[in-house]
Structure 1
């Protein structure tokens, strides 16, 4: 695939235009209306949905979203041209050029940066015909168009009717087992697998059976027992609700604060269990696995920053930034051998392993790798930092994994560095503000993966009030990107060294404008 940048004349609307084939008449898209053609307005921070002269796809889908001999796409927030040297005809396979060999249609379930990064990667691959994101976010809507159905629709019926060739759930999703029952190749955990990792005590037990080092700790349902444990353990300690998310843990460094925090968590948990665990000093990293239900391959290692403030100060978060490099290959192989393989063997023996991603967060101490957390799915920060480094096609690997026939072998990483930095709303992580417009996305040179955003009508009279293909629209409906959560987006810089990648990410964050937004300034620096 040859990608070259388009140099647009000064003053020209920086839009992506798809020329309709003269011999193909556009047909209605499922839902009775044509998928809107996305164009970027010269107005900063606004994107115009242009329905005039709808582009042609031989099966009713926009020509820009299927592969052609030459077409334009929005990648890296810029208009690029992708040349496909293979013969192209309506209904032909971009790989073979022959009719009847249908390319892959992918359905991505989720709304975070993982879905946006996967869509960005898959849509440029020759084997992929279409990518759908449900519910998606503003970034996926601007890249692919709006989701074809509302999130509360019966997705398996829609996916089976189209048909969809690959379903990827970025995390736990209630439709996964139904997709599996329909024999649709699906990456995602079952309810039994999700339940096995629900709670800190269950995680410690699985790690113990695998012979791995997890955080030393206990779970308590009575306050006095928890206080006795706190009084007897060395500091610092993590205190959290047993069933709450990992990032809501509180790090306590003195005994008095530990007693107060245990009592507070008990009150907030409404009498449910509280977990107290030892805090280890070391380097925090994220490590992912891709499995086909039997075998697995490592899916990258990234250095992560979890605290809100620079120099790892402030409260714990879901992740404020990360950096990754092809030079992590040796560490990746070591973690796969020492942590990944024992864990996979245990999950396989207990009947919990099925095709999908496994995400681990670890602390690398001087003696060992301590597993802090384990969840199904691909973490948003990990995906933002690692997917731009993936070399080669990803779709065939994901499809083979979903079909239970993935071949082993080390992953292929570009000889480059990435630095991913989260832009967060004011008040994050305790009480993040939402609803603020995000401007300047068209001006950045780095990759931007949306985490918690949506499209909002730029004026109250617009009919574009929900991004579903079944909704009636105006002929031209301007809309803007707004923040919908604490972590709004990730700016991802790439470069031949860490300094170049970091400089690109920081320059992008300075270009993006969102009221009272903030970010860490030391991701990829000497304090990372």
Structure 2
């Protein structure tokens, strides 16, 4: 079988790494890919960089010319841009197996306002909220003052993981709301802003793969968003992750399935949204009860780098079953090992950072799996090409053992100006 994965990050490398091990995988392509995906697949550096009409046509042409039978859409941008719908409306590609929802389903991530309305409609537990625009700024200011502190402000659209602000004071919240709506702090992503109550608890993520009718729940994970240790500093795309999560016992996960997963899948069906793909459910555990913070319409990064290594099945038939609505036949087999990943980033991230730094030490790594994110290969060298550069995944019978394997590998990899958090998983070891 010939497979195409869209994307260029650590999530896509983890998926390609796993899929390449399948006996059913003949040719595997990643567009545009990175230095890591080139080790297990054929990179297509000129494909998957834009999703306007010309970019979509380019993808369709490649699928035809290379007899692609399964398309896996890694990131959210092509889904929100409607890549699935575009391909499905082409007569010769309408039967292409695609893992990734259409534009209507992608609105769960593409619009925070849409997601909150969906949760309210289908009685899925989440924080109380209201949405405001520039025209209703004064109402938004009044609403802020009526809520308890701290208060959460979310850009409605895609903001690369940086569109969520938690304000400790009304003054800061008002200034932030003005920056988002009037000054377009996040561009068009903040033309609407969702203001919601702050939930006090412990955060985690649950991942679901659905074919629109049935679903399988993948391993849960906890990620670490802040750049600094002890969760300090600005939010990033994720500095590390751990799976499974010690505080998510079976009783809690049963609540997640009954109160959130089932109503979400049923809600999609009731709203006539044909959803075939991953649903990332960002949760807050509030005194043992789960509340949804956000939906994403793809796997998380770096959570994929701890979730995928714990799946013992051949992943390719599972993805194909999701695309072809045969997921009821799948039995997931999970490793009992704990997986931890530590993200190595460029100096300056999540602000401005340099690219093109030579990375060394890969050959010395023997205790963990290295997943590439912001890298590129040039003249037999691997260079940095993004803010989050590598995710180093270790496994073990305990969090301590898994972390030891991750950090042993981290210490062997070098480039000028690298940074990583040294406290990933420490909070969980105390539980």
Instruction: Report the CA distance shift for 1:329/1:161 in structure 2 as closer, same or farther (over 3 A).
Output: farther
Match of 2:325 in 1: 404
Q: Is 1:122 aligned to residue 19 of structure 2?
A: yes
Match of 2:198 in 1: 279
Q: Which residue of 221, 225, 250 maps to 1:302?
A: 221
Q: Is the 8 A contact 2:313 2:332 kept in 1?
A: no
CA distance in structure 1 between the partners assigned to 2:125 and 2:5 by the alignment: 33
Q: Is 1:240 aligned to residue 154 of structure 2?
A: yes
The CA deviation at 1:167 is 1.2
Secondary structure of the corresponding residue to residue 522 of structure 1:
coil
The CA deviation at 1:329 is 7.4
CA distance in structure 2 between the partners assigned to 1:162 and 1:273 by the alignment: 41
CA distance in structure 1 between the partners assigned to 2:363 and 2:204 by the alignment: 31
Q: Which residue of 63, 66, 72 maps to 1:159?
A: 63
Q: Calculate the TM-score normalised by the size of structure 2.
A: 0.87
Instruction: Report the CA distance shift for 1:429/1:216 in structure 2 as closer, same or farther (over 3 A).
Output: farther
Match of 2:426 in 1: 525
Instruction: Report the CA distance shift for 1:333/1:167 in structure 2 as closer, same or farther (over 3 A).
Output: farther
Q: Which runs of 5+ in 1 are unaligned?
A: 1-103, 457-477
Match of 1:352 in 2: 273
Q: Which residue of 164, 169, 174 maps to 1:259?
A: 174
Instruction: Report the CA distance shift for 1:325/1:218 in structure 2 as closer, same or farther (over 3 A).
Output: same
CA distance in structure 1 between the partners assigned to 2:14 and 2:176 by the alignment: 37
The CA deviation at 1:265 is 2.2
Q: Is the 8 A contact 1:167 1:184 kept in 2?
A: yes
Query: 1:339-418 to 2 correspondence within 5 Å?
Result: 339-366=260-287, 368-407=289-328, 411-418=332-339
Q: Is the 8 A contact 1:293 1:348 kept in 2?
A: yes
Q: Once the two structures are superposed, what CA deviation does each residue of 1:53-83 show, in whole Å capped at 9, x if it has no partner?
A: xxxxxxxxxxxxxxxxxxxxxxxxxxxxxxx
The CA deviation at 1:401 is 1.3
Match of 2:38 in 1: 141
Q: Calculate the TM-score normalised by the size of structure 1.
A: 0.72
The CA deviation at 1:289 is 0.8
Q: Which runs of 5+ in 2 are unaligned?
A: 49-54
The CA deviation at 1:453 is 1.6
Q: Is the 8 A contact 2:226 2:233 kept in 1?
A: yes
Query: 1:48-63 to 2 correspondence within 5 Å?
Result: none
CA distance in structure 2 between the partners assigned to 1:234 and 1:499 by the alignment: 38
CA distance in structure 1 between the partners assigned to 2:374 and 2:284 by the alignment: 27
Segment drifting more, 263-272 vs 214-223: 263-272
Q: Is 1:322 aligned to residue 241 of structure 2?
A: yes
CA distance in structure 1 between the partners assigned to 2:158 and 2:62 by the alignment: 33
Q: Which residue of 79, 86, 105 maps to 2:2?
A: 105
Query: 1:128-207 to 2 correspondence within 5 Å?
Result: 128-147=25-44, 150-151=47-48, 152=55, 154-172=58-76, 173=78, 174-181=82-89, 182=93, 183-195=95-107, 197-207=109-119
Q: Once the two structures are superposed, what CA deviation does each residue of 1:256-307 show, in whole Å capped at 9, x if it has no partner?
A: 3222222222343178232222221211111111111211111220022222
Segment drifting more, 516-525 vs 267-276: 267-276
Match of 1:513 in 2: 414
Q: Which residue of 200, 206, 225 maps to 2:139?
A: 225
Task: Give aligned pairs, total.
Answer: 404
Q: Once the two structures are superposed, what CA deviation does each residue of 1:462-485 show, in whole Å capped at 9, x if it has no partner?
A: xxxxxxxxxxxxxxxx33222222
Q: Is the 8 A contact 2:241 2:425 kept in 1?
A: yes
Instruction: Report the CA distance shift for 1:377/1:196 in structure 2 as closer, same or farther (over 3 A).
Output: closer
Compute the RMSD of aligned alpha carbons: 2.2
